[in-house]
Structure 1
Amino acid sequence: MLKKNSFLFSIVLIILCIAFNNTVGQNKGKQGKLFIIGGGHKPASMINKMIDAAGLHSGGYAVVLPMSSEEPWPSTIDIQEQFAEAGFKRIYGVMFKKSDLSDKTKLDSVANAKFIFISGGDQSRFMDLVAGSKLETAIHTAFENGTTIAGTSAGAAMMSEIMITGNQLKDTAYNATFKTIVPDNIETRKGLGLIKNAIIDQHFVIRSRHNRLLSAILQYPDMQGIGIDESTAILVDGGNVEVVGLSQVLVFSNPGNTQKVVNGKYGARGLTLDIYLPGEKFKLGK
């Protein structure tokens, strides 16, 4: 199976090289969009919205970066099948390991894609591989040249400059949510930084991650906290955000940059919460 995948991947790279030669500069001039999915099932309407947002029906190709996942090829095949059902088949898996982070053919295939999809899994696994590499540069180059970049679950969390890892520093037993709102408990690290002024959380309503995101905006009071539920996404175009999918997006802000700590617990005043439904829009940033 691995040999078969390697052979198919070689064919894909040839195809992408041809596509690269035909589409250099296709995205120049305008920063791309972000399609950030809270995880879970992706309804057909969401897949169609991604394809339309990226303008894929008018040409170009898409790549999947599955390195967050423990099972990268099944993750790739899943999104390929969903795109195929929507009538788009030019979507290819591009798997990187440490040994090929400088592979020019692979890097060019990413930098010149019209759409990049980052799978779910473990956001730290992806950033451990990609941070500071030529691949990270290629992703940013694509975005600055107009590529739409999407991510689900872990792929959503890493869109932020400040990325939630999911780990707690004080209660080291993993829980899907936090049991407390206390300082110095939320573990963060540098994400891809495609969003500078907000922190993204995912699987939000269904896993009751309110305490986690509240902890984040108290620890980082200049940041907006955006919690995206499953089967739901935000489409970010510049500073404009549209909710897509089936559920809700919760947005926390700390406009007064307030916080205090008493007996090891956070307190604050004037925090705001907005709950957005599919089709509704808001502005990115406080």
Structure 2
Amino acid sequence: MAFNKIFLLLFMLVLMCSCNNKSSTVETNNTNNAPEVLNKPQGKLFIIGGGKRPPEMIKELLKISDFNSEAYLVILPMASQEPDSAIYYASKQFKNLGIDSKRIKGFNFEKGIENKVWIDSLKKANIIYISGGDQTKFMDVVLNTPLYDGLHEAYNKGATIAGTSAGAAVMSDKMITGNEYKHKEYTGDFRTIESKNIEISQGLGFLKHAIIDQHFVKRMRMNRLISIAIEYPNETAIGIDESTAIIVEGDSVKVTGKSQVIVIKNPQKSMETRNGLLGADQLELSVKLPGSTFAF
């Protein structure tokens, strides 16, 4: 009888140890999964199609960025031919809403791409605002530099990256430069839907599965976006009109502002080329109004 009791106690101890080991294994697995969550960017993108920025739009930018009394923002003017003017006008839209000038920093990295103080400051900003101008000029300054890495570190930690016009184009991994291979003289018109015509180069890469076009409805850029959707079927082609923006958080997108956003997808990866002209079947086209949402 005593032997049976001892055997029963030993069996219970073995069972308890086994349960504890299983519990420990689960906790270890959860810990191993944690970095995957942490590696996802914590920031947001506020991508403006150019033109005037209504006060309501800038207020929304401040709101989604949790711009409290201790926050500050950084303006990057390197897309502009007149960086000082770009900083002035970008600052003004925030000052008009009561933001103290001491909380607005303008860094022209053309004059100091290795400036560690500026980069450290940028990494801690709540908002990083990229002005309009020439997106290729901006990327010529930024690509393969500590500033590029600093922008991604800030975004990963929770900063809102905002940009207008050229500052919108740079957001995607594949960036529309504005140039055409087959029509060298820039006119602002995109009159054809041709293969191998629209020049694409490296952008900042915050958007991995979308390509951004700007001033979209105002400047009638549908031909360009259709060409992009056909030739880059793995990307969502997004055209943002003036005074309009998209707010990107993860894979979720919200439209805000005064006009429309055009979204074109090519889910069938359809493409036909004949005499240099592009053709495709079953493209998906949506016209999104302010307040609408969609996903990549």
Task: Give the TM-score band, short-chain normalised.
Answer: 0.7 to 0.9
Offset at residue 202 of structure 1 (A): 0.0
State the percentage of identical aligned residues.
48
Offset at residue 57 of structure 1 (A): 2.4
SS in 1 for 2:68: helix
Show CA shifts across 1:77-135 (max 9, x none). Answer: 112111111122211101112x6222210110111111100000000000011101000
Offset at residue 268 of structure 1 (A): 0.3
User: What is the aligned partner in structure 2 of residue 57 from structure 1?
Assistant: 68
For the Cα contact (< 8 Å) 2:75–2:104, is it kept in 1?
A: yes
Larger Rg: 2
Deviates more, 1:83-92 or 1:155-164: 83-92
User: What is the aligned partner in structure 2 of residue 47 from structure 1?
Assistant: 58
Show CA shifts across 1:212-260 (max 9, x none). Answer: 1111111111111000000000011111111111000000000100101
For the Cα contact (< 8 Å) 1:33–1:143, is it kept in 2?
A: yes
Equivalent pairs, count: 256
User: What is the aligned partner in structure 1 of residue 199 from structure 2?
Assistant: 187
User: In 2, Cα distance between the equivalents of 1:244 and 1:146?
Assistant: 21
User: In 2, Cα distance between the equivalents of 1:30 and 1:55?
Assistant: 16
SS in 1 for 2:154: helix
> Is it true that 1:142 corresponds to 2:142 in the alignment?
no
User: In 2, Cα distance between the equivalents of 1:242 and 1:177?
Assistant: 28
Show CA shifts across 1:176-217 (max 9, x none). Answer: 231110110000101000000000000000100001111111
> Is it true that 1:77 corresponds to 2:111 in the alignment?
no
Structure 2 residue identity aligned to 1:221:
P
User: What is the aligned partner in structure 2 of residue 93 from structure 1?
Assistant: 106
For the Cα contact (< 8 Å) 1:177–1:211, is it kept in 2?
A: no
Structure 2 residue identity aligned to 1:83:
F
Tell me which of 263, 271, 274 is aligned to 1:251: 263
User: In 2, Cα distance between the equivalents of 1:278 and 1:177?
Assistant: 26
Tell me which of 77, 81, 93 is aligned to 1:66: 77
User: In 2, Cα distance between the equivalents of 1:60 and 1:31?
Assistant: 17
TM-score of the superposed pair, with normalisation by structure 2: 0.84
For the Cα contact (< 8 Å) 1:29–1:146, is it kept in 2?
A: no
User: In 1, Cα distance between the equivalents of 2:61 and 2:117?
Assistant: 25
User: What is the aligned partner in structure 2 of residue 37 from structure 1?
Assistant: 48
For the Cα contact (< 8 Å) 1:177–1:212, is it kept in 2?
A: no
Tell me which of 102, 105, 111 is aligned to 2:117: 105
Offset at residue 58 of structure 1 (A): 4.8
Let me know the Cα RMSD of the aligned residues: 1.3
User: What is the aligned partner in structure 2 of residue 14 from structure 1?
Assistant: none
User: What is the aligned partner in structure 1 of residue 26 from structure 2?
Assistant: none
User: What is the aligned partner in structure 1 of residue 6 from structure 2?
Assistant: none
> Is it true that 1:199 corresponds to 2:211 in the alignment?
yes
Tell me which of 166, 170, 189 is aligned to 2:178: 166
User: In 2, Cα distance between the equivalents of 1:129 and 1:210?
Assistant: 29
Q: Can you give the 5+ residue segments of structure 2 that lack an aligned partner in the other structure?
A: 1-38
Offset at residue 60 of structure 1 (A): 1.5
SS in 1 for 2:287: strand
User: What is the aligned partner in structure 1 of residue 220 from structure 2?
Assistant: 208
For the Cα contact (< 8 Å) 1:42–1:231, is it kept in 2?
A: yes
